[in-house]
Amino acid sequence: MLPTTLAQFADVLDYPQPGLAEKSRLCAQTVARMALPFLAVDSRQLSPDALLSAFAREVEPMAYGLQEEAYASTFDLGGAYPYIGYQLLGETYKRSIFMLELKNRYHAYGLSEGGELSDHLVCILRYLNVLQDEEEFCELTQYAILPALDKVLHAARMRDENDHSALPLYLAVLQALYDVLVTTVGEPLIKAAPWEEDHAQAQCEAFDEMPLAYDAMD
């Protein structure tokens, strides 16, 4: 049932399309039927199916334009970029290799990225839906998806330390996905490096060492 569930998560996390609330409820029903043990970080956190149901209730009355805004505010403007390779590796050569390998594996199963970069979370979830190799399934989940989700969700909670159980809309769906994967596959086996901090520090240091025009005139 897990592959089917991941395909349904992909439908929910894809760019908003008509029927988003129905897709969310369907995913919630599938997760509930899995009868997973509940891994609450505190007494206020909802179970994965409850998070998905709450998401469905929130987006159902929204006009399509507002659903697009909610999506953009999370994934495009909110910093929760849905690119697994980017979260793990940044804009590096290693990420390019990761994306190329994913692309080759998708094509081997007759899958297309559909206009997205190959390390987009939705693309990877749809790949896992058809993947037959259990070892690869676990490796991709525990070494890539879960560490990236953990990083995104941790950053979101750090931005709202007064109520770290409250996650806005699409982040709540990411939390539900994280909980489902942890309870079915296992904990993340690595921690995503905070490469953004290192990159920012390197840029500052490079700027400090850069000679200024008026220095050359002395």
CA gap 209, 211 in Å, rounded = 6
Averaged pLDDT, 127-141: 97
- From the DSSP assignment, how many helices (H) and strands (E) are in the chain? 12, 0
Please report, for the chain, the start and end positions of each structural domain, with discontinuous segments joined by +.
Answer: 2-193
pLDDT-derived band at 155 (thresholds 50, 70, 90) equals: confident
Q: Which two tokens stand for residue 9?
A: 């998560």
CA gap 56, 170 in Å, rounded = 10
CA gap 78, 71 in Å, rounded = 9
Which pLDDT value is given to residue 159?
Answer: 61
Which pLDDT value is given to residue 209?
Answer: 62
Indicate yes or no: pTM above 0.75: yes
Which residue has better confidence, 54 or 213?
54
Question: Residue 120's beta-bridge partner residues?
Answer: 83
CA gap 179, 202 in Å, rounded = 35
CA gap 110, 87 in Å, rounded = 26
Question: Residue 83's beta-bridge partner residues?
Answer: 120
Q: Which two tokens stand for residue 209?
A: 């060492």
Q: Which helix (H) or strand (E) holds 134?
A: helix 134-140
pLDDT tens, residue by residue, 85-124: 999 999 999 999 999 999 999 999 999 998 999 999 999 9
pLDDT tens, residue by residue, 15-61: 999 999 999 999 999 999 999 887 665 556 789 999 999 999 999 99
CA-CA distances (angstroms) from residue 146 to 63, 141, 152, 186, 194?
Answer: 32, 6, 10, 9, 15
CA gap 187, 146 in Å, rounded = 8
pLDDT tens, residue by residue, 157-176: 766 554 444 457 899 999 99
Q: Which two tokens stand for residue 185?
A: 């596959």
